[in-house]
Amino acid sequence: MNRILMVHSFYKPTLPSGENSVVRNQAELLADSGYEVRLWGPTSPGEPSSREKLETGSKLVTNRSSDPLDEIASFKPDLIHIHNMFPNISTKWLSRTEVPMIMTLHNYRLACAIGVFVRDGKLCTDCLDSSKVPGIAHGCYMNSRIATTAVTMFQRRLKTTIDRNIQALIFPALLQKELLGNYTSGVRSEVIPNYVPPSTNADSPTPFQDRSGFLVLSRLTPEKGIEPLLEIWPSSFELVIAGDGPLRKQLEVAAKDRNVRFVGEVTPEQRDILLTKSLALILPSLTLEVDPLVVPEALSSGTPCLTLKHTTTAQLANNSLAVRTYEDKKSLWENLTSLSLQDRSHEARELYDKNWSKDKWLFSYHKFLLELQD
């Protein structure tokens, strides 16, 4: 399987997308490793007009979106690796090719209309075990019942497509596989964390004694959980919040007198500097997440992570002291104190190498492909 066609519906350029980065990183790594790789996929418009939104919705309902059949005919791949298909790629074409296909599920779109198990800025898994699709009643997608109905139709086609046409699935996180197990039980699957390049300062991390403060790197939106974090943040510790979003002014008010500093949007270079100089990365997200890129980026810098106990990242705490979990003010304070006193940089880098490094991902991916041929 030396010729691989990677298929991905790219999110709009104005929206920071970990999925887009992961797909590009994987394609580049495979090409550098001797595979012949071609990446195909449409990109959503940056600021779609009302007409464009209607056209996208119509294509989604009628399953008339783009397809890679011409690309398949010209490239003649040995394997098609599908990533995201929503909302710009149809499902019809999968039954029209005999090329083996695998798929990586980067989100929870099979069970949740918006793909992240969030409603009104809070964790919500109502649709996970319900046949009544409460997401339609709530109008979860774009605050519209009509739009959510269209997404639900896509979900059902995607489930059928996976059952009939996909040879195997890749889940970037164990918790994601466990939660979506009922939707994919008939298909072979494997947990392979994403390949995430190390931070630019990974080979020269800041010594523990020169680090200070804690860091949140995030969009400032409700589901990221920053406001609940600020409510219990102990002012005896410094917190730096990097990122921007609609909640910034509200969060700045909530952070008053809590030893919190907002630095706004940062460049990749500035992000890496903040990571390597911090005592730990805080992941306060109210969502379950899948495989947030900022976690391995931090770990590669020798920076441990502290996360709410329900996230996919929290599962890593069972095997490494570089990941800690909190659930309330007391456990937050205890972990901040511990991370301020104990150097966990070695464990952090070790955890990165074991899960997200170039060598680990290539080994896991190559092994996965070999097993599919047996």
Write out pLDDT tens, residues 73-87.
999 999 999 999 988
Flag whether 203 is in a domain. Answer: no
Same domain, 327 and 269: yes
Residue 46 is predicted with a pLDDT of 62
Flag whether 305 is in a domain. Answer: yes
Residue 16 is predicted with a pLDDT of 63
Same domain, 220 and 286: yes
Same domain, 319 and 183: no
- What's the domain range around 295? 208-355
Flag whether 329 is in a domain. Answer: yes
Q: How many domains does the chain have?
A: 2
Flag whether 202 is in a domain. Answer: no
Residue 47 is predicted with a pLDDT of 67
Residue 118 is predicted with a pLDDT of 87
Q: Which of 175, 119, 154 is nearest to 288 (CA)?
A: 175
Cβ 7 vs Cβ 67: under 8 Å: no
Same domain, 147 and 239: no
17 pLDDT more than 80: no
Same domain, 163 and 306: no
Alpha-carbon span 240 to 282, nearest angstrom: 10
CATH assignment at residue 184: 3.40.50.2000
Flag whether 201 is in a domain. Answer: no
Mind listing the pLDDT tens digit for each residue in 249-265?
A: 999 999 999 999 999 99
- pTM, whole model, 2 decimals? 0.91
Flag whether 231 is in a domain. Answer: yes
Q: Give, rounded to a whole angstrom, the gap between the first and last alpha carbons of the chain.
A: 13
361 pLDDT more than 90: yes
Same domain, 124 and 12: yes
Alpha-carbon span 166 to 153, nearest angstrom: 19
Residue 141 is predicted with a pLDDT of 87
Same domain, 228 and 332: yes
Residue 120 is predicted with a pLDDT of 84
Same domain, 16 and 158: yes
Residue whose entry in the numeric block shows the structure tokens 């106990």: 309
Q: Which of 53, 220, 62 is nearest to 144 (CA)?
A: 53
Mind listing the pLDDT tens digit for each residue in 263-274?
A: 999 999 999 999
Flag whether 131 is in a domain. Answer: yes
Same domain, 164 and 62: yes
Return the axis-axis angle of helices 358-373 and 345-355, rounded to nearest 10°: 30
Same domain, 50 and 160: yes
Alpha-carbon span 15 to 318, nearest angstrom: 33
The helix/strand/coil state of 343 is coil
Same domain, 143 and 232: no
Read off the pLDDT band of 15 (50, 70, 90).
low
Q: Which of 124, 115, 118, 80 is nearest to 101 (CA)?
A: 80
Same domain, 350 and 319: yes
Flag whether 340 is in a domain. Answer: yes
129 pLDDT more than 80: no
